[in-house]
């Protein structure tokens, strides 16, 4: 049977682009599928300080642009397309079918690098208020809130980093966290403490977002005292972690309880010839640097898999 591609990579963030660079450089016939344009979540990061090789930091946009250009130099083909399902195997267990919203492709090796997306608070009007004061990206939408007051929710690196970024524009950030200590790294915790524009509200959850056509505030509950209160704000930024983009792979490869794809150290999933890399993978540290490492390993192993098939 003839297949369309040696390898298909789903997702164009740091993991997918690195896999594309490596497999392209190995002269394989590779296609990277990306829903929108390559870059992934890093595009929403204003400034990246902890990716090696860039003293002083680098903008998320510039970093991803460079990663994309480097992969293109080695012949990586990039196509926009949304994957709805994958069907592994074939009668000889030697190819995989990738079903898109507008067609179908086949490949020998498949690398899933679809990453993750912001987790939602789960409040009834949350989705309806996106664009009307609710945003999951301070870096993208901060400038719309110049001189205003906003609530940021979460206690991880994203919430700390984005709250700090928001202070460039807003007059005040209420940083609302459900516990009495942050999960985020010390360097960010220290910067938040030093900021005179950030007020931390500990042990508190958001129970409602108020406003009809535009956010007017949030309803809060202190989880220790059960005391309810309201806080008038112009914007709400839920920054409470990520959920994997793996629905299309459910029932095909093994996932952990959070829906992240489980692999071994060689990025092999539970299905032969299907690899996973980056934030979509079940792992301890989700960073650009770890995604890049995953992508390189997945590409190396996919190449080995191709050699075995031949």
- Footprint on this chain of ligand NAP (rule: CB under 6 A): 50, 121, 153-159, 161, 178-179, 183, 205, 240-242, 285-287
Q: How far apart are CA 136 and CA 237, in angstroms?
A: 5
Give the residue at shortest CB distance from ligand NAP: 156
Whole-number minimum distance, CB 158 to ligand NAP, in Å?
3
Could you say which of 6, 107, 141, 234 is catalytic?
141
Q: Which is nearer to ligand NAP, 81 or 138 (CB)?
A: 138
Residue 6 appears among annotated catalytic residues? no
Q: Which is nearer to ligand NAP, 156 or 293 (CB)?
A: 156
Whole-number minimum distance, CB 179 to ligand NAP, in Å?
4
Say whether 29 sits in a helix, a strand or coil: coil
Residue 107 appears among annotated catalytic residues? no
Q: Does residue 30 contact residue 9 with C-beta atoms inside 8 Å?
A: yes
Q: Which is nearer to ligand NAP, 18 or 23 (CB)?
A: 18
Q: Does residue 190 contact residue 200 with C-beta atoms inside 8 Å?
A: no
Q: Does residue 273 contact residue 11 with C-beta atoms inside 8 Å?
A: no
Q: Does residue 210 contact residue 204 with C-beta atoms inside 8 Å?
A: no
Q: How far apart are CA 188 and CA 184, in angstroms?
A: 7
Q: Does residue 126 contact residue 209 with C-beta atoms inside 8 Å?
A: yes
Q: 296: how many CB neighbours lie within 10 A of its CB?
A: 17
Q: Does residue 82 contact residue 100 with C-beta atoms inside 8 Å?
A: yes
Could you say which of 65, 94, 140, 203 is catalytic?
140
Q: Which is nearer to ligand NAP, 86 or 188 (CB)?
A: 188
Tell me the catalytic residues: 137, 140-141
């Amino acid at each position: 049977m003839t297949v369309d591609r040696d390898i298909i990579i789903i997702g164009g963030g740091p993991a997918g682009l690195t896999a594309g660079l490596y497999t392209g450089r190995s002269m394989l016939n590779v296609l990277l599928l990306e829903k929108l344009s390559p870059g992934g979540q890093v595009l929403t990061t204003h400034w990246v300080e902890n990716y090696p090789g860039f003293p002083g930091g680098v903008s998320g946009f510039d970093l991803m642009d460079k990663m994309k250009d480097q992969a293109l130099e080695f012949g990586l083909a990039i196509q926009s397309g949304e994957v709805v399902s994958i069907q592994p195997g074939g009668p000889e267990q030697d190819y995989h079918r990738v079903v898109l919203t507008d067609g179908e492709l086949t490949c020998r090796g498949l690398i899933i690098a679809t990453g993750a997306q912001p987790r939602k608070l789960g409040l009834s009007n949350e989705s309806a208020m996106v664009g009307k004061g609710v945003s999951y990206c301070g870096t993208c939408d901060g400038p719309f809130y110049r001189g205003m007051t906003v609530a940021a929710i979460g206690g991880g690196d994203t919430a700390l980093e984005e709250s700090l970024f928001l202070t460039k524009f807003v007059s005040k950030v209420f940083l609302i966290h459900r516990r009495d200590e942050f999960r985020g790294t010390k360097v960010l915790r220290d910067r938040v403490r030093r900021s005179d524009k950030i007020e931390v509200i500990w042990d508190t959850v958001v129970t409602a977002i108020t406003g009809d056509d535009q956010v007017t505030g949030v309803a809060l509950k202190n989880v220790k005292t059960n005391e309810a209160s309201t806080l008038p704000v112009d914007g709400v930024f839920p920054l409470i972690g990520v959920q994997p983009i793996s629905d299309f792979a459910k029932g095909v490869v093994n996932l952990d309880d959070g829906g992240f794809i489980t692999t071994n150290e060689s990025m092999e999933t539970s299905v032969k010839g299907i690899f996973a890399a980056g934030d979509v993978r079940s792992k301890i540290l989700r960073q650009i640097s770890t995604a890049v490492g995953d992508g390189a390993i997945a590409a190396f192993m996919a190449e080995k898999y191709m050699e075995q098939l031949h």
